Structure formats: structure tokens, C-alpha cells
Structure 1
Amino acid sequence: MKFDTPAGTNPIDRLVVVGKATDRIDGKYKTTGTAPYASDWHDPAARLAYGYVLGAGIAKGGIADMDIGRAKASPGVLAVVTAGNAGKVDRGAFYVARPLAGPDVDHYHQVVALVVAETFEQARAAAHLIHVSYVEDKGKFDLAAVPDKAPVPKPGEFGGPTETEQGDFEGAFAAAPVALDETYTTPDQTHAMMEPHATVAAWDDDRLTLWTSNQQLNWGIRDLAKTLGIPKANIRMHSPFIGGSFGGKGTILADAVMASLGARATGRPVKVALSRPLMANNTTHRPATIQRLRIGATRDGRITAIGHESWSGNIVDGRPEAATTSTRMLYAGPNRMTRLHLAHLDLPEGNAMRAPGEAPGMMALEIAMDEMAERLGIDPVEFRVVNDTQVDPGNPARPFSKRQLVECLRTGAARFGWDRRSAVPGQVRDGRWLVGLGMASAIRGAPVMKSAARVRLEGDGRVTVETDMTDVGTGSYTIIAQTAAEMTGLPLDRVVVRLGDSAFPESPGSGGQWGAASSTAGVYAACVKLREAVATRLGFNSADAVFEDGQVRSGNRTVPLAQAAAEGPVIGEDAIEFGDLSKTYALQTFGAHFVEVGVDADTGEVRVRRMLAVCASGRILNPKSARSQVIGGMTMGVGAALIEELAVDTRRGFFVNHDLATYEVPVHADIPHQEVIFLDEVDPVSSPLKAKGVGELGISGVAAAVANAIHNATGIRVRDYPITLDKLLPDLPGAA
């Protein structure tokens, strides 16, 4: 199916099942411990072996010598895999770090060896017997020390352009009656998902099967084939359940590669699960940024110049953090400049983490907007409203398909009681607490990608949906079932959804906020084929047939849907391919975040008291799971604002707090009442379901809203995240 014109009326618009708040289909499996995650795979007849990864003890240099003799002789050991015996090992396309060190070491905890043994304990004990002699080189680990050596790279595959300019930014900024020029910093962050990176790999002759935790199976197969130098057709991946990812499992990493190599070396299935320190230092993370925002405006608040430069660091061939993405799209202004600088650092690879680009970029942009509003003497909400635009600021000939940012801001302000906010900071107290309100806009792209599915009507009247789409805890099983149920006129309990098997028709997987809109559109296309086939079997004109209540009706004739499969299953399979609508229209999601905080006047302790998100994100397919996604993003935003930071040892080049004991994330006690409002919106430009993603919109802007609330409570403007006690204590107004 080709989607190249905006969607008209179709069966989804009945909204009998789609659009209803529905319990997640996978919920019962996860709450009872019966959902099979990657490391749960076990076949007693398969003689499963266990691999333990040994990571490099230096961050930059080379391996001078490695003595694996004692490890190989250790009880239960089946093989020790190193760069010396693994054969050629390439790297992937999306994650670009080499999975196996030798002779060079590129970053701390890069894999230097895998020990495979009969038990995990034997493999771990043997790994500690390996002696590695290193030649250590001086590396670069401190972003703040190298910004002057950070050029603007060529545009990468992801993140859009690295440099843009319209009008005369420098001239307009210099001439602006009111101007702001400030620098903001965001730290390295880790995904901190609960399920570790884990894989079980098994070979059958030259064919490789993996049970793994991977968001995008098509990327995973592409990258593993490239890494191992084998045909894509020889690889099969299973990833039916994923215990959190946030971009950290977008494709294969060391667990998948080393499990595959270990299985090849032993002829046995091999399980590899990375320890928590390896997850921080061996895999990927959100890189730190230094961001300079310059905004010029007229005295009535209209932006005349806006410039955003960002510096980030990465390994060789790594990409810059696209922190200027939001600035290119969010506010009007005729004179504009954005620029990404990329420094070479010898830290682990920086790559995608929930809302890459927008999340850290808006941590700076939305504080700058708040500061600018204060300089102008304009309410922060009104300042954003004044600078709204219904066309892409970088391409005024391209309108937004839907843009309800102003409605989000107005609705949020009214619901949150924004009119009670004191425009003068530090004026509201509740006992020892200084109380403040803050807000920020939200924007996140709404891309769609080719997606395929297969739908089969069985003789008992059930419908089975198969696609290699994954569910990273977002509710994919449920919205796909809702889509198929709506299209076939069945109740939800008559639909079976099978996901996460690369043998199924290919989807783009979960990530980039494209998963929901793309995968349900693919299921829609397959269901159209199924409806046509059913109508043909039953002697109906497919254009006139109505599918509802388990029946197919046309004119005066009604037939049970199951009758079409009386002599065998009916199958519909198709892919949806998206045309050039995204060139004609700018596809984005919008929102507004409002936060109230209390700051202890003596200690600087910050407590978030309440939060509100208002989202405009196309048709909401399942309000219950969508709300869950948004409050999850809001919670991550609180973490980014107040506590999350990978501490870099700038002498040795590694992340010191590489476990969940020392890398702090919000817990239940940190998060109070959260409210989410979805504006009534359908976007016929986005997909046949008129839906868009929402999972990453929930984090975009939240940290800045918290920072702005802290400023409103205390009068202290912190531009260096996270906002910890030491950054507040020297300037607190005290208890008087």
C-alpha cells in the first residue's frame, strides 16, 4: 500500500476498539513473570553454555600481551574468544564502536575476551584468571577541555543537518533591542533500563539464531551480518519482550556479537548478559553537551534572531548529539543559525537515548526562553505564544501538518493554575519550602517508515497478526491488536499478536517515536488485503463490505466472518510505504510541561510537588498506555533535571558511577502527582490511522520546566545540569 495522500474516512474512524483506554495485553505476562526475556531462553536439550565478558582495563592504548592459559585450563571452560582467534570482526552501521578490542583499545570496558564455560560461575572465575598487559596512551576524556578543537562535521545519517543559517543572524542579534547570550551544559547520561543487554546465540551449520533484547530487528540483522561477515538471510532474531531500552538496544551490541562468536567457537548455544558496569562503559550513552543560546527580540517579545550552537564529543566516526533540532522547528524568527560541533573523545560511544537531540537540546533552549521572557518582562507562556508559527521556520513554504502548541500552552496554563504564579522569584513559601512554578514547550519529530505485517483469519474466527515489530514496554502488542480488531470487526480477545521474530514481515521496530504510527499502519495495510480476500471468498464487493461484531455485511446479506475461513485460513499480507507527504508538510508532535517544585530554604533540597503534560500527538490509539509513556518521559525528565549524571574520571577515561547504586534515577518517592492531557487531534497526513508517536514527547522540555520552577522558587538560575544542592546552597535566600 502506498500512502501518498492524506487519509480519508476509513474503518479505523469507527473507534469501536481504537482510541479506547485498554489494558496492555502483555501486562499479565510481565506481572506474573511468564514473559520470556532474552536471558530467560533455556532448552534443557540444547546444552546451553555461558559466556562472561572481560572488559578492557584502560580507555586508550593497546594490548601488549594477553595470557589466557590459566583461564583455558580452569574447570568447565569450553573456549576463550579474543581478537586473536575470533577471525575478522567488523562493526555495525548505527552503533559504530568496535565490539572487540585488539590490538588497539578504543574505550574503557571494550571487550578484550569472552570466556565460555558450562556455568556462569565457572566462566566468571576463569575470566579473572586472564592477565592482560596494556600499553596505555593519553586519551581525551573531558569535553570542556576540547571545545576549541571541535569542528562542524558533515551531516550524518541521523539528526539532520549539522549547520543551518537563514537571514543575517549575527547582524540581527547585534541590533536586537533585547538580547540573551548564555551557555548551558548537560552531562553524560546512561539508559539505566532494568533488563540488561543479553543474548543467547546458537548456530545450525551456517545459520545463526539469536534470542536477544533488540529494538529494531532489521537493524540488528543488518549490523550483525556486517560485523560477522555473513549473509543477512542466514540470521534469525527473536525479541518478543524487551525490559526497557530507551535507545540503548537499537541494534546489536557486544552481547549479541560475543554470544555469536562464543557459540561458533564451542558448537553450543551460548548465553551472554552484560553486567551493569559493562552496560554503562561498554555500550552506548547520551553524550554530554555544551550549548550556547543567543536570542534577540523586539521589546514586545518577537524574536528577531535565534542562534543555537552545541558541542558534544564522541569516538571516531561517532555522530554529534543533535541538540539544535528543536531550535530549528519550534519558534518563529527570520534570522536563524544552528551549529553542531563534534570533538573526538576516547569515552564509550555516545548515541541514541530517549528523544536524542530534543531532550538535551530543550534542556538549554527552554531555559533560555524563560530567561528571555524575564528580560522582556513578559509571561513565559505568552512569550512562547507570541512566537508561534504554523509553518516550518526553516522552510516557510512547508506548513506543519498539525501544530497545536498554543492550545497545549493555553490548556496547560489554565489547568495548572499558572495565573497564580508570582512573576517575581522567591516570593512564595510553604513553611520552610520556597515554592515555584515553571513551564516549557515540548516538540518531537513524528517520522513514519515502511512497515509490513501478515494477518491470518483462522477457521475458529480468530485473527493472528505477525510482524517483527518489538514492544519495549510501550504497548505495541495492544495497539496492534486494537488496529486489527477495528479493521476486522472483532473484539480484542479474538485477536492474537505475535511480535519480535525476524521471520515475520519487516517493520522499522521501536525507536525514534516512529514505532506506533508505522507499525499500526503496516497492520492496517495487511488488514485491507485480508478484508479484500474475505469479501472475495464470501462473494461480497470488498468496497461495500462492512466488518463489525464478528460479521461481514453488505446490503441485506450478513455472514459470520469465520465462515470465510471454513475451508482454510485467509491471509492478508502487505507493507505500507510512505510517499513524499513529509516533504510537503512538517510532521511533529507538540506539548507543554508545567511543574511545581519546593526548595528547602536551608538545605537546597528540591522536591517536585506536581506535574502536568499537555500533548498534541495525533490520534491517541490507546490513552492508557500513551499516558504511561508520557509519565515515564516526565519521570526521566525529572531525573535529568535533578540527579542523573555519569561522572567521568577525566584521568582514566571511564564512567565512575556505573551501576544503579551510584547512578541515581528517580524512585517513587521522588515523583508526586502527574497529570496528562491529550488534545483532541487527528492528523491525516501522518498515517491511515491519523496517529503519531508520543513516547519521546513526554521527556522533551521537562528538565527545563523543573529548572525554571526552581528559579521561580529561589531566584537562582542554574545552567549546569543536574541541579544539585551544591549549585543552590551558596545563593539560597535563607530562612529569614
Structure 2
Amino acid sequence: MSMKNDYFGKPINRVDGYAKVTGEAKYAAEFNAPNLLYGYIINSTITKGEIKTIRTEKATALAGVVKVFTYKNRKNTAWLDLKYADMDAPPGIPFKPLHDKKIRYNSQPIGLVVAESFELARYAATLVEIDYDTEDHHTDLMANLDAARKPKKGLASFFKPGPPKPKGNADEVFESSAFKASGKFIHGMEHHNPMEMFSSTVMYEEGGKLTIYDKTQGAVNSQLYVANVFGKSFKNVRVISPYVGGAFGSALRPQHQLFLAVMASLDLKRSVRVSMNRHQMFSFGHRPYTVQDTHFGADRAGKIQSLNHTAIGETSRFEDYSETVVNWANMIYPSANVSLDYKLVPLDVASPMDMRAPGGVTGLHAIECTIDELAFAAKIDPIEFRMINYSDHDDSSGKPYSSKDLKECFRQGSESFGWHKRNPEPRSMKRDGKLVGWGMAVGLWDANHLPARAECLLRADGKLIVSSATADIGTGTYTVMAQIAADGMGMSIDNVEFQLGDTKMPFAPIQGGSFTAASVGMAVKAACLGLQGKLLKQAKKLKPEMFKGTTTDDVEFANDSIRIKGTTDQVLSLSAIVAATGQKEIKSRNTGFPRVLKQRKYVRCAHSAVFVEVEVDEDFGLVKVTRMLNVVAAGKIINPKTARSQILGGMVWGISKALREETIMDHRFGRIMNSSLAEYHIPVNADINKLEVIFVEENDTIVNDLQIKGIGEIGIVGVAPAIANAIFHATGKRINNLPITLDQLMA
């Protein structure tokens, strides 16, 4: 059976766009219930120690305050010493809110006030009096590097493999190399700040059944967490999350507002909503503070012969959160001598967590800046240097790439950007009294595919309802899945509705890692094929004279009908087939499996080449990114419009990472000092100028039948190093600490 591609590759408008711009789309904190109660979280004001006394009498004396929960009066939970309470849990013991009187990090949730209004709960929280016994804390990574150790192994190691074994003698060959480049790179802590803050609205039903509206990147993951932690049957826990107002990894793991809302709802046998404010959005995971050292060497021809890359990141005392930071260099650049090392330092902080392109955006900054420095030392153009060291296989594994059109990214990018006009000498280009710099860098990200399920349901009125319990965090999942389904069934997209974010729907993994389009897309395709088979079977019964003796190879689905290939008159509408059965619908639920046996012989990645122009005002140390071009090779592009938006979002965030974004902690108190959008700096409209995106289409039959790769992360990974390289070209100053601030430029 063939699939007519009328929508694949077309810039279709977002099908959920109208709902979002009109306010029709409802988020976790916007679902209501009769007699709904509101919870407000109390956070610790110390970093390490124990609660000595906690007095709630003043709060509970207020009319309308229902209960104040602390470690003293919360009901026991199942927990069962679970090491993995959710799909994204790192090795260790997950944080347990209100579990005991111990304080493990600053702003840890230690209480919940539940009242008849949010405002009352918030005020009552200020009346709770707490005394602490404090202990010495350690939150400064740079002051505790001597405590670095290897990460513990766990389930997360499957997606975040440790460094490969060393080969050759990287140190010795580096020392004898004709050209050398070294650097120390420091990345500050960063916090996710999506527009929608975390909230869970728990609807309590008689008998303890729960319907939960949660901000999550995986409804199934929140269901798994609640069922495991509270010892409930999965059928009695339904999680719904139709819209997510941004997440970037922060909603991969269930956050503590979900635990607190469910705890309160079960205890009080009432519906409860718990929402965080912006300050409380800094009370859980973050991109970890990381320090890296690189030592790369090349021979006189510019061929890399030594790669040495080490990284040390922070983690909490109770979990070993790790990232893939140092593995990328030998994936891009072949070398016979490689030494890679990654370690962790446990500190008195909340567990770090995935943030867009975790590990990759950190490691590639160090790698691509060191490569730029090496090319400069060898007096070779940065693109030419990368071409000298180009490889169609991953040197660290010895496997070929399923596809890699990075050369074409270089060609189209350099031509469009005008790279040939670049004067290679630092400080040689000026405009209107400002220094001008041009820099570039390579990006790389995995193209994974996980099993997922989807259902296609065709109604007698000709409407196709497609569903999967995946999420749409703003990436365009609603739209691209509707496109795949419309093509899969040969139907008008106006007659197709894609539904997601409900645990009653077929299973889907968490939305992260840039694998949703491939994983859920292949499940939708499988469900379409399953439905096609059922419709053909019914068509033979309804019109035996037309479809007698036909096989799946003899028919095609187009124009909301099934027809014999090569004819225009032997056509039967799909709605007529459903109606003739006497049923309201025909449906098929199927799984999209990755091609494990075929894929294991290859490395599957998306690639990019980022070109940046900056202007630097030396008097004030101000940097302006005047234009940027991101050229991306990521298989086939389902929807160029939504895909472009994804890449643009990554480019803006790359500017933020390079020049603006940093969580500041006062280590004397172990407390974050800029936990608001007033002091946590991110780019505004005035910071964003000309951004361009080019897609280089690849033919890749290995990744999946749709030939698609994820693009959520590839848009950001190469941006920060390209900006840093452009700043070096403009000023002659190599600044490796992110963000690059005016004081560093003026020093």
C-alpha cells in the first residue's frame, strides 16, 4: 500500500495555533474543579542541616486554611526504596519531598500550606515559623575539584554513555605536535525558565481515583511516578497534559509540586492544585556548573593527531546526574591518540537535570573553540581545517554515519554567509567604530528512535482521529503528526485530528532527546498501515467486484478514498467503508519499532554548521550578534516552517548561553541570588538581529522509513562556540568562560 505525500515537507501552519493565540488552549493550572483547594510550597532558607522546630499554629488559625503539611504529619508513601521512580531518573535515590527533617539543599521544599484560595495559602506560608540546626555546606564546584570521582552506573547510562577507552598516547603526542591548542572552559549553572511555571491540578474522585493535569514532557512518566510513589494502581491514576508552555528538559522528570499535590489530595480527599512561582522555579534541577580542559595537537599539514578532553561537573549528594560532555571530539575529528575523561563532584545542591542538548552544548563549546584555536595556530582557514579532518565515520566507535552531509553544510553556509570575504587576522575588520568578527563552529546531536505506540481511528463521518500519549512542548508535534497521518491515509489534513498528552492513549516515551518526531512518527505510520489493511478487508466485502483478488500492492489511498492503482473510476470513499460496517468507527493500534539490527551497524546523528558575525564595542565591552546562519543536515524535514522555528529557538538560546545566561550563587549561604527574570538575564528582542536557517536534505534509509532526524537540540549546540570564535576574531581575546560578559572583554 502506498502513501501519497501531499503534506510531508510542506510548511503547514500549526494546527494548534488558533487555540494558543485565542486562549482556548488550557494548561495545567487552568483546569478547575468544584471546591478546589490551593497549595503553596514552603522552601528552606538554609542549605544543609535539620529542621529543629516547625510551628504552624499561626497559619492553621486562619479561617480558610485547611492544613499545613510537613515531614511530621504527611502520610506514609509506598516509595519501596525505589531507585528509579521515573523514566529519566539518574543513579541514586530520588529526592523525597517532606520525607524527613534533613535539609539537603537551599530552597528545598519543606512544607505545603493548603487553603481555600491561592492568596490565602501564600500568606499563611509566611506565618509558619521554622528553626534550624545548620551544618557546613559545600556548593562551590571550583573549590571542591579534588573531590571529583567517576559517575555511578545506572539506567541513564544507555542514553548517556561514558567516555570511550583511551587509545594511543594523547599526552606524549600532544607535546610533540607541530601545532597545539589548549584551554580551560568554565560553564556557569543555568536554570530552565519556560513561560509556563510548574503546576499540578489533582482531581480527586470517590474511592481515591485521580485525574491529574500536570506540566510534563511525558504524561506516562508522571503516571508511573504517582503510581509507584503512592502505591496506586495505574488504572486509578490518569495524567493529562494537552499543552505545555515550554519545558526544555525541566519537565522530563516529575517535579515536587506533583508529589505535594497528590499527597494533599489523597490525605484531604479533595481536589488540590499546587503551583510554583518564578522564584520556586529555581528550587529544582538545572544545567550543571562544569569545568573542562582541552589539549589538541595537529601535525604540520593540519591533521589532528592528539585529542585530550576532560570535564568535571557538579551533582547532588543523593543522585549522580551525568552528561555526555567529552565524547563528541573523536566523533567529529579522527585521531589515533585520544584521552577523554568525565567526573562528578557531589555538592549540597539540587540534582542537575537535562537542559536542551545536555552535555553536547557544553562539550562542543570547548571542542569547537579549541579547534578554532588550533586552526589559527596552523594558519589554516577554520572551514578548511575541518575539511582536512573530515570523516564519514565515527572514529570513536569505528562505525560509519547513516548519513552525514556536513560538507554540504559547509559549502552552502560559507557561500550564503560570504565567508570568502573574511580577513583571517583578528582585529582586522571594523564597522562604524566597532570591531567586527566572523566565527563558525560545527554542531552534532544524536538521532535516536525509541518504541512508541499510536492509534488511528476512522469515523463514519470521514474524520480520522490519531492519538499517542506523547507531548508537545511547543515543538509542533500536533502538526507534524497530523501531516504524517494525512499522508499515511491519503486524506485531507482538514479531516485529521492528532491528540496527545493523556495516559489513556497509546504509550509514548517522554518527549526529549530530539527523538519524538522519529519515535511517534513511525508509530503513526504503523497505525496508518494497520488501518489501511482493515479498510481494504472491508472494501473487498463491500465492493467485491472492484477489489476482488487485489493485494496491498494493487491499491492506494488518496483523496480520502481507496482506489485501484492507475485508475480514477474504481474508487471507494473511506467514510463509506466505515458506514457500511454499521459501526461508528474502524481503528488500529500499532507500535513503531526501531530497526535495531540495521541501526546498530551505524552511528545516527544530525549535523550543523553555524556562522556568526558580531560587533564588539571595546569601550563598553558590549557584544552584538548582528547576524547568524545555521545550516542543518537532519534527514528529511517534515514541516520546514515548524522546523525553522525550532532552529531559531536554539539560535536565540545559544546567544543567551554565550552572552547572557547564568545562575549566580552566593556560596557563603549556598543560595541562588538571581532567582527571578529581573536578574536572570536572557536575550530580549533588541538582542536578536538577522537569523537565517538553511536545511540540507539528506537521504537516510537507516534512521527510519520516514528518513527523519530530530532537530530540537541541533539548533543550539554549535551556536555558543561560533559566537566565542567570532569574538576572538573581532578582538584577539580568547574568552572561554560562559557567559562572555563585558568585564571579561574589558579586562
Q: Could you say whether these structures have the same fold, taking a TM-score greater than 0.5 normalized by the shorter chain as the test?
A: yes
Query: Alpha carbons of 1:339 and 1:582: their partners in 2 closer, same or farther (altered >3 Å)?
Result: farther
Query: Structure 2: how far apart are the matches of 1:572 and 1:288?
Result: 47
1:543 counterpart = 2:560: no
Identify which of 573, 576, 591 aligns with 1:563. Answer: 576
Which residue of structure 1 aligns with residue 465 of structure 2?
464
Which residue of structure 2 aligns with residue 218 of structure 1?
220
Which residue of structure 2 aligns with residue 197 of structure 1?
198
Worse overlay, 679-688 or 528-537 = 679-688
Which residue of structure 1 aligns with residue 381 of structure 2?
379
Query: Structure 1: how far apart are the matches of 2:180 and 2:2?
Result: 52
1:118-157 to 2 correspondences below 5 Å = 118-156=116-154, 157=156
RMSD over equivalenced CA pairs, Å: 1.5
Query: Structure 2: how far apart are the matches of 1:279 and 1:670?
Result: 24
Alignment check: 8 A CA contact 1:81 1:261 kept = no
Query: Structure 1: how far apart are the matches of 2:390 and 2:665?
Result: 39
Q: In structure 2, what residue type is equivalent to 1:384? A: R
Identify which of 548, 566, 575 aligns with 2:591. Answer: 575
Q: In structure 1, what residue type is equivalent to 2:571? A: T
Query: Structure 1: how far apart are the matches of 2:232 and 2:701?
Result: 42
1:510 counterpart = 2:508: no
Query: Alpha carbons of 1:446 and 1:531: their partners in 2 closer, same or farther (altered >3 Å)?
Result: same
Alignment check: 8 A CA contact 2:208 2:266 kept = no
Query: Structure 2: how far apart are the matches of 1:358 and 1:276?
Result: 27
Alignment check: 8 A CA contact 1:295 1:305 kept = yes
Query: Alpha carbons of 1:712 and 1:603: their partners in 2 closer, same or farther (altered >3 Å)?
Result: same
The number of aligned residues is 716
SS of residue in 2 equivalent to 1:584? coil
Which residue of structure 2 aligns with residue 368 of structure 1?
370
Question: Displacement, 1:323?
Answer: 1.4
Query: Structure 2: how far apart are the matches of 1:558 and 1:298?
Result: 68
Which residue of structure 1 aligns with residue 564 of structure 2?
554
Question: Displacement, 1:163?
Answer: 5.4
Alignment check: 8 A CA contact 1:412 1:612 kept = yes
Worse overlay, 693-702 or 309-318 = 309-318
1:597 counterpart = 2:614: yes
Alignment check: 8 A CA contact 2:74 2:98 kept = no
Worse overlay, 555-564 or 179-188 = 555-564
Question: Displacement, 1:70?
Answer: 1.6
Identify which of 608, 620, 645 aligns with 2:637. Answer: 620
Which residue of structure 1 aligns with residue 230 of structure 2?
228
Query: Structure 2: how far apart are the matches of 1:724 and 1:425?
Result: 19
Query: Structure 1: how far apart are the matches of 2:198 and 2:599?
Result: 34
Question: Displacement, 1:392?
Answer: 1.5
Q: In structure 1, what residue type is equivalent to 2:620? A: T
Alignment check: 8 A CA contact 2:168 2:337 kept = yes
Alignment check: 8 A CA contact 1:159 1:325 kept = no
Which residue of structure 2 aligns with residue 640 of structure 1?
657
Query: Structure 1: how far apart are the matches of 2:730 and 2:612?
Result: 11
Deviations 1:510-539 (A, max 9, x none): 101101111111100111100000111001
Which residue of structure 1 aligns with residue 275 of structure 2?
273
Worse overlay, 69-78 or 602-611 = 69-78
Worse overlay, 554-563 or 612-621 = 554-563
Alignment check: 8 A CA contact 2:307 2:330 kept = no
Question: Displacement, 1:420?
Answer: 1.1
Identify which of 63, 68, 71 aligns with 1:80. Answer: 68
Query: Structure 1: how far apart are the matches of 2:60 and 2:100?
Result: 19
Q: In structure 1, what residue type is equivalent to 2:9? A: G
Query: Structure 1: how far apart are the matches of 2:75 and 2:387?
Result: 59
Q: In structure 2, what residue type is equivalent to 1:530? A: L
Deviations 1:25-59 (A, max 9, x none): 1111111111111101013xx21111100111111
Deviations 1:367-411 (A, max 9, x none): 111111111111111111111111111121x21100111211221
TM-score when normalising by structure 2: 0.94
Question: Displacement, 1:328?
Answer: 4.0
Query: Structure 1: how far apart are the matches of 2:417 and 2:99?
Result: 53
Alignment check: 8 A CA contact 2:164 2:327 kept = no
Deviations 1:88-115 (A, max 9, x none): 3547343433333521111111111111
Q: In structure 1, what residue type is equivalent to 2:149? A: P
Which residue of structure 1 aligns with residue 326 of structure 2?
324
TM-score when normalising by structure 1: 0.95
Q: In structure 1, what residue type is equivalent to 2:419? A: W
Query: Structure 1: how far apart are the matches of 2:466 and 2:564?
Result: 25
Query: Structure 2: how far apart are the matches of 1:222 and 1:325?
Result: 31
1:106 counterpart = 2:107: no
Q: In structure 2, what residue type is equivalent to 1:23? A: N
The alignment-based identity, stated in percent, is 34
Alignment check: 8 A CA contact 1:216 1:511 kept = no
Query: Structure 2: how far apart are the matches of 1:283 and 1:313?
Result: 14
Alignment check: 8 A CA contact 1:246 1:354 kept = yes
Worse overlay, 614-623 or 399-408 = 399-408
Question: Displacement, 1:117?
Answer: 0.6
Mind listing any 5+ residue stretches in structure 2 that lack a counterpart? 541-546
Which residue of structure 1 aligns with residue 675 of structure 2?
658
Worse overlay, 98-107 or 49-58 = 98-107
SS of residue in 2 equivalent to 1:395? coil
1:47 counterpart = 2:32: no
Question: Displacement, 1:507?
Answer: 1.0
Which residue of structure 2 aligns with residue 57 of structure 1?
45
Alignment check: 8 A CA contact 1:166 1:394 kept = no
Q: In structure 2, what residue type is equivalent to 1:547? A: F
Deviations 1:541-594 (A, max 9, x none): 333220011121115521112111112211011011222333211011000101
